[in-house]
Structure 1
Amino acid sequence: MPTMKGASVANLRLLLAALWAGSIWGVSYLAAPSAFAVLDSTLAGSVVGTMLTREAWLSIVLAVLLLVLLRRSADLDAGRRRWALWCIGSMLACSLAVYLGLQPAMAAIRESAGPAGVRASPQWGTFAALHGVSQLLYLVESVLGAVLVVKSR
């Protein structure tokens, strides 16, 4: 039976995993599509870009906190600990790939497109491909988030 301290660490681990997964789901599947549904694409892109930047920073903070908690989690055997480390690392890698790689490249294309917008730009194909990879990484991260929540219990 876990001790009160062990139960508290496990509960905090679950809460942080749920916060991380929930924030990804909220931004990726609710807020971003909603912004593009009601705003012009340039403004929506700026709003969503800001949300994704904040999501990336939240991901970094939550990954660090979860890694600290894993070190203090007496309730996890070696196999569950490795699984959690892999899951957290993979989620963070997805987030950083989007934040440090794809978002800056997409922003540069948006900026170079000028007032006509990205769709009128000769770089539209590249932008669309980067956007598709970004969506795939968020999908992977959101599935991993669900796994992390379930495995954190």
Structure 2
Amino acid sequence: MATASSSSSGIFASICLLHAAVAATCGALMMFYLNEIAEVGHGRETARRLQGSTPHDQLLIQTSESFAGLLLFAIGLLLFMVAFVKDRDFQAFFAKGCILLHAAMALWRVFFERRLEDLARDWPRQLVGDLVLSLSWVLFLVYSWREKYD
């Protein structure tokens, strides 16, 4: 039984480290290269419109996006720390929480982001990303349940 537990712990650690790398990288890019990342993600014209029209708006938006990037970077560090937890019950609890978080983000995109004219063409792609990230946690839960009940 020890190999089954260590196997699911290894999968949990791998998923956490992958998500941590994505979150920390995206957060750092948002903090330091906001305009360039916005152009890559949304296109040059949309990125220009999302920057704001007045200097005050631009500063407010840039500050807000930098703090969002800092939060995302902190989430990446948290995921990195959680990756090394070996408690099976905590892993299942954490995975379920991550599934709920990604589902909430998907619902946010469906009900709110799609209504924003400047982001209307981006939300389907981001929705797929939310669903794929959530699916990784679902697959972990299925794998750990299969090990538990076999």
Tell me the TM-score normalised to structure 2 length: 0.40
- RCO higher in structure (CA 8 A, sep ≥6): 1
